[in-house]
Amino acid sequence: MSTDLIHPGNPVEPFLRTDRMPHIWCPGCGIGTTVNCFSRALIESCMNVNDMAIVSGIGCTGRVAGYVNLDSFHTTHGRAIPFATGLKLANPKRQVVVYSGDGDLFAIGGNHLIHAARRNIDLKVICVNNLIYAMTGGQTGPATPGDVITSTAPYGTFDPAFNLPYLTEAAGAVYVARWTTFHVRQITKTMQEMFSKKGFCFLEIVSPCPTLYQRRNKMGDGLDTMKYYKAMSKVKHGANTKDVPLSRQGEIIVGKFVDIERPNYMELMRNKLHDSLGEQYVETDELTCEEATSCSDCS
């Protein structure tokens, strides 16, 4: 057999901690798909991966940080965003990605999310929304739609869910998009766009949890969910985020909803301190002596 027929390896391999495989995610889970998209976005952007750090909270999506071969931080439940804020402010040149789930970012971490968006901290927040607390056993989450059976809502949920893009835009995000795990090319492209955008960027990826959400609600397996995403997703770029809530089996509005410009936290801080302190202000690019490598020769 000719050796050139042997596959040289998966192109995303360098971005993964292959020594940690197999991963813990269930068959049909969408999180691995999003990691594949993330790795491809890294390949296709001009990013030097050493310039990127990734921060996760707790839960199934919280485990992403442990599988990608970057400076990676698996923090406490709900606190990925404040940890990432410290990391970013100490290293303003570095790209800091927050990669976590709907429960982590919007329930226990909801306060941090809205304040980071308000301040426009330059973070790229990727939220894998499987509509449920998965790792801890399928309990109701802040994004669980009505009429869904969960382990803490055995008769069906009745507390209203957050519409994540609407909330994030209202809090001040400069970039808000949503896709499902069916939209792998769009996810990759959106991630690339976020990497080159300054400020608080938010991407929601609607993703199946076949083990706890779909099974308990008799919605089939991972493949059935893909078919549902394909049939029910409608691309509406620029849609009013007020009009994009998710329901149990209704339409899923996807696309890029928000892409605006406003000064980010570091710019606001530097401008104010320059104005107030003049020459007394000592500006720092990093709070250590190290220098970040730039990707300025890419265009």
Partner 1 sequence: MQADPAGVLTGSHFLDGDHACCEGALAAGARFSSGYPITPSTEVVERFAARVPTVGGTFIQMEDELAASITLQGAVWGGAKAFTVTSGPGFSLMMEHLGYAVMTETPCVFVNVQRGGPSTGLPTLPAQGDMMQARWGSHGDYEIIALCPNSPQECFDLTIKAFNYAEKYRVPALVMLDEVVGHMTEKVVIPTADQIEVEPRHFTTKDPNNFHLYAPDENGAPEMAHLGQGYSVHVTGLTHDERGYPNMTPQTQDSLMKRLKNKILDHVDDIVLYEEQDVEGAEVVVVSYGITSRVAQRAIDMAKDRGLKVGKFRIITAWPFPEKQIREIASKVKGIVVPELNLGQMVREVERAANGQCRTKLVPHAGGTVHRPEDILNAIVEVLR
Which residue ranges make up the site for partner 1 (CB under 8 A)?
A: 17, 20, 50-51, 53, 55, 65-66, 69-76, 78-79, 82-91, 94, 111-112, 115, 269, 273, 277, 280-284, 286-288, 290, 292-293
Closer residue to partner 1, CB minimum distance, 39 or 150: 39
Closest CA to 129 of 152, 113, 153, 116: 113
Element containing residue 238 per DSSP (H, E): none
Question: Is residue 54 within 8 Å of 99, Cβ to Cβ?
Answer: yes
Closer residue to partner 1, CB minimum distance, 260 or 277: 277
- Please measure the distance between the N-terminal and C-terminal CA atoms of the chain and give it in whole angstroms: 42
Beta strands at 95-101 and 201-206: parallel, antiparallel or unpaired: unpaired
Question: Is residue 102 within 8 Å of 142, Cβ to Cβ?
Answer: yes
- Minimum CB separation of residue 266 from partner 1 in Å reads 9
Closer residue to partner 1, CB minimum distance, 158 or 281: 281
- Minimum CB separation of residue 74 from partner 1 in Å reads 4
Residues across the chain: 299
- Minimum CB separation of residue 142 from partner 1 in Å reads 17
Whether the upstream peptide bond of residue 245 has omega within 30° of 0, thus cis, is no
Closer residue to partner 1, CB minimum distance, 66 or 145: 66
Closer residue to partner 1, CB minimum distance, 227 or 272: 272
- Minimum CB separation of residue 274 from partner 1 in Å reads 9
- Minimum CB separation of residue 124 from partner 1 in Å reads 15
Closer residue to partner 1, CB minimum distance, 237 or 274: 274
CA dihedral over 236, 241, 246, 250, signed as positive or negative: negative
- Minimum CB separation of residue 233 from partner 1 in Å reads 34
- Which residues have C-beta within 8 Å of that of residue 75, sequence separation ≥ 6? 55, 56, 57, 58, 83
